[in-house]
Structure 1
């Protein structure tokens, strides 16, 4: 069987070199005189083709390069495994935290649901305190009529009725029945309109501002679940209700 002969040339060359046999081409490849971009004459197609596109010819000419690629890949995989193995073992607490959605990036952040629950609890306690203060301010000036249950006198002091409503709502909130919040919001608007009108028409600016602050704080605490907002509303509302208590019981003196 006749030995196959090859003619080669580079892209910039106009004249071919050869003929070469398979062994000679391998020698040229080893010395760098032949690359996978070198052109070889294809007798079947009677055309010049790049050696890199002829897999049958390329494989025996550049076996060492293939080995190097495999070796580099193996070394890279080994390095990746070494990095993975160097990581500290996962603890049970970390597994539980991951199951709850708390990772290393989020462990210092407060869970939104927990934050909303805390805000709701703060708001409920603040509403309870504000209602107690409000009922005290409204009932205390007429306490004699209340204890003696003088109905005709009580009718002359409608604030007692509002105070009784506040006391009732405070008990409801204290029992955790937050479904009464819509009624409490109506009560906040009613108190602002009723007491605010009385103080405004009498020219009592400080009690008027206290009623505005107390009613606004009471209202906002029933609608927000944001901790910063509920804290501010609680402070403003309680301060306002204390101002109303001061004016109604102590007479502002």
Structure 2
């Protein structure tokens, strides 16, 4: 069944699309008449409803049919007569709102959709910042080793440190997220779980409860940022993820991890 756009001859603004049942509702409410214009896609122009015999008959049925319909619903008619003019106006507005889809449920769905869109727009940049902060946490404790490798002309040796490899991974993922490459979300989610597990292990190995709590916050925050569909949940993810990784980077800058990351070495590159 086709849908129709309508407008009055005096106005340029149209309403719709409406199906036949909604047009009939508007006609019964006195909101449209045979002179109301509808857009004829075949003619590609606005035409009065009265000129389309079939459509006119459906929207404005004969009075006898309407009378029969009223006789069959006497109870409804008596209730309608008992209504005050203000109540009738409210009913007309409610019918128009329902015809145009402007209902409470529809508005709720729109708000939910907007919340999801805002969360999605922020997720890439927020998660990207978390990954860059995580890369700093991995690199800062090894600054002396990096400087020594540069002075000795053996820069490739720094790739023997596991934390350097993890930092490179974090940096690449963070850069891709800032470019809105959402395909890396599964990798970021896996990295978040690694932060949670490995970070808590580091805090336990160093006998530092604060590190365990910060690592847990950073991991949970990054994980939530990859799955959140509401703005409120996304804000919580930012507080946990950015706050946790940011504080860990601050502690790394102040030597909290000295003697730990430089002990985890592979033999990928030899002198």
Asked if TM exceeds 0.5, the reply is yes
1:197 to 161, 180, 201: 201
Among candidates 197, 220, 236, match of residue 224 of structure 2: 220
CA 1:226/1:98 → structure 2, altered by over 3 Å: closer, same or farther?
farther
Instruction: From the superposition, tell whether residues 86 and 226 of structure 1 become closer, same or farther in structure 2 (CA, over 3 Å).
Output: closer
Shift of the 81–226 alpha-carbon distance from structure 1 to 2, 3 Å rule, reads: closer
Task: Give a deviation string over 1:47-75, Cα, whole Å, max 9, x none.
Answer: xxxxxxxxxxxxxxxxxxxxxx9xx99x9
Query: Alignment RMSD, CA only?
Result: 3.8
Shift of 1:202: 1.4
On the 8 A contact 1:207/1:244 being kept in 2, the answer is yes
Task: Work out which of the two has the higher radius of gyration on C-alpha atoms and give 1 or 2.
Answer: 1
C-alpha distance in structure 1 between counterparts of 2:186 and 2:103, whole Å: 39
| Number of residue-to-residue matches in the alignment | 178
Partner SS, residue 249 of structure 2:
helix
1:234 aligned to which of 235, 238, 247: 238
CA separation in 2, counterparts of 1:218 and 1:230? 10
1:135 aligned residue = 135
SS at match of 1:135: helix
In the alignment, the residues of structure 1 paired with residue 209 and residue 104 of structure 2 have an alpha-carbon distance, to the nearest angstrom, of: 53
**Structure 2 equivalent of residue 164 of structure 1:** 168
1:22-41 to structure 2, matched below 5 A, reads: none
Q: Which moved more, 1:237-246 or 1:108-117?
A: 108-117
**Aligned residues of 2:134 and 2:249 also touching (Cα < 8 A):** yes
**Matching of residue 182 in structure 1 with residue 186 in structure 2:** yes
Q: What TM-score results when the alignment is normalised by the length of structure 1?
A: 0.57
**1:208 matched residue in structure 2:** 212
SS at match of 2:102: coil
Runs of 4+ in 1 over 3 A off after TM superposition: 75-88, 95-99, 101-110, 146-149
Q: After TM superposition, list the pairs within 5 Å mapping 1:73-88 onto structure 2.
A: 83=85, 87=89
Q: Structure 1: state its 5+ residue gaps.
A: 1-68
1:100-179 alignment, distance < 5 Å: 101-103=101-103, 107=107, 110-143=110-143, 145=146, 148=150, 150-155=155-160, 157-179=161-183
- 1:50 maps to what in 2? none
Pairwise CA distance, 1:86:
7.2
1:122–1:231: 8 Å Cα contact kept in structure 2? Answer: no
Q: 5+ residue gaps in structure 2?
A: 1-70, 257-271
Pair 83,214 (structure 1): closer, same or farther in 2 beyond 3 Å: same
Q: In the alignment, is the contact (CA less than 8 A) between 1:123 and 1:230 conserved in 2?
A: yes
Q: Aligned-pair distance for 1:220?
A: 1.4
Q: 1:243 to 1:85 in 2, by over 3 A?
A: closer
In structure 2, the CA distance between the partners of 1:98 and 1:227, relative to structure 1 (3 Å rule), is farther
- The answer to which of 161-170 and 117-126 deviates more is 117-126
